[in-house]
Amino acid sequence: MIEEKKPAFSRSWDPACLGKSRVSRPSRLFVLYSFTMEDGKIMERTLSIVKPDGVARGLVGEVIKRFETNEMKIVALKMIHMTKAQAQGFYEVHEERPFFGSLIDFMTSGPAVAMVLEGDHVIAKNRELMGETDCRKAAEGTIRRDFATDIEKNVVHGSDSPETAEFEISYFFNKFEIVA
């Protein structure tokens, strides 16, 4: 029997495979999450996560306020509590890094809030608002500088490129959950 091969994206956050196996990055892009407007704006979507430390410390509202006051529109939002397999798949690019095990323990330690943000250059804008990974190096006024407690427990995640955003958004949200 020939097994039908589904595109990688359909496997990414399919409830049928939650917690059962690692997920894979797509081998090619299926949908573009970035387009140029007539006025020259580059409208993009990006994935933001308020990590378990941010949720536990009651920082969800503060993070959302920063998005909303910076013209970053929330077009999807949900609470998540990742299993080890889900977190390992999400941070697959860091699999070989020495901090991988600790990062997975942290990301599965409690509930988090996943969001899709939409706006002009929103991928870079979000990274700017977040600040550098290591809060000691993050610029004044950034989320990580203001709230992170160390290089790992740094309150927020943000996609770092259009390709990453596409993978990460589809990891947590299907098209019916994104309300434009």
Distance of closest approach, residue 129 Cβ to ligand RTP, in angstroms: 12
Token representation of residue 179: 């309300």
Assess 52 for contact with ligand RTP (CB under 6 A): no
| Phi, psi angles (nearest 5°) of residue 162 | -60, -35
- HEC string of 86-115 equals HHHHHCHHHCCCCCHHHHHHHHCCCCEEEE
Q: Is 92 in the site for ligand RTP (CB under 6 A)?
A: no
Task: Yes or no: say if 146 and 14 are a contact pair by the CB < 8 Å rule.
Answer: no
The one among 160, 162, 174, 178 contacting ligand RTP by CB under 6 A: 160
Contact letters for ligand RTP, residues 133-152 (x by CB under 6 A):
x-----------------xx
Which span sits near ligand RTP by CB under 6 A: 13-21, 54-62, 63-71, 154-162?
A: 154-162
Closest distance to ligand RTP from the beta carbon of 175 (Å): 23
Is the CB of residue 87 less than 8 Å from the CB of residue 108? yes
**Phi (first) and psi of residue 34, to 5 degrees:** -145, 130
Give min distance, CB of 130 to ligand RTP, in A. Answer: 7
- CA 71 to chain CA centroid, nearest Å: 18
**14, 99, 105, 137: which one binds ligand RTP (CB under 6 A):** 99
Residue 27 burial (CB < 10 Å; 0-12/13-18/19+)?
exposed
Does residue 157 carry a catalytic annotation? yes
> Per-residue x/- mask for ligand RTP, residues 101 to 140, rule CB under 6 A?
--x-----------------------------x-------
Note the maximum CA span of the chain. 60
Active-site positions?
A: 157
Residues near ligand RTP (CB under 6 A) are 94, 99, 103, 133, 151-152, 154, 157-158, 160
